[in-house]
Amino acid sequence: MKSSRSILLAIAALCIVLFATALYLQAARDVPPCPLCIVQRYLLATLALTCGCFACLDPRLHKVGAAAGLCLAIGGIGIAARHLWQQNRLDAFCDVDPLEKWLNAMPSAQLLPLLFKADEGLCAMPTSLLGMSLPQWSLLGFIVIALGLLRYLARQEPLVPWLA
């Protein structure tokens, strides 16, 4: 059985790889991120930080970190599903997205525009990678993360051992 620390670190590493892939596509292949892409980046960064930080804490807190990560992954699944739905209904969503203005006004978008600044709405041509659209890859990534965390949480250890 794998240790809880290695599971949390693997989840954090997967989040970093997904985030880095998005940055590569933005910088090298000139794929501007839409507002929902930026929300998914925030979720990936938060997931990586959550799992990474809890992996460094007392092993008795690892399940708490996994539960928090699962909540973030479920949020990512919802955002990615919304992104896919919206991408298939471009005729209804080609106006300026109010989410874009709100995201671009955040301090993180001001300090790190390459990472967190939304450039275009969903009217941009959907880019595919290995036959799947980017929201599909994002959805798949969040599902894999959620399943990994669910599997870990399903172990027969109490969530908070000192209260059991």
Residue of 117, 149, 144 lying closest to 22 (CA atoms): 117
Side-chain-side CA neighbours of residue 66 (13 Å): 27
Query: Would you write out the chain's pLDDT as a tens digit for each of its 164 residues?
Result: 468 889 999 999 999 999 998 888 888 887 778 888 888 999 999 999 999 999 999 888 899 999 999 999 999 999 999 888 887 776 655 555 666 666 666 776 667 666 666 676 555 555 666 778 888 889 999 999 999 999 999 986 655 555 55
Give the span between the Cα atoms of 30 and 95, in whole angstroms. 21
- pLDDT at residue 8, rounded to an integer: 94
What pLDDT does residue 126 have?
59
Rounded Cα distance, 8 and 69, in Å: 9
Q: Is the distance from CB of 47 to CB of 69 less than 8 angstroms?
A: yes
Residue 125: other Cβ atoms inside 10 A: 6
pLDDT of residue 135: 84
- pLDDT given at position 13: 96
Q: What is the DSSP letter of 32?
A: P
C-beta of residue 34 within 8 angstroms of C-beta of residue 138: no
Q: Please tell me the predicted confidence (pLDDT) of residue 23.
A: 86
Q: Looking at residue 56, what is its pLDDT?
A: 93
Residue 65, CB-side half-sphere exposure with 13 Å CA sphere? 25
pLDDT of residue 1: 41
Residues composing the chain: 164
Cβ atoms 145, 50 nearer than 8 A: no
How confident is the model at residue 59, as a pLDDT?
86
Burial label for 146, CB within 10 Å (0-12, 13-18, 19+), is buried
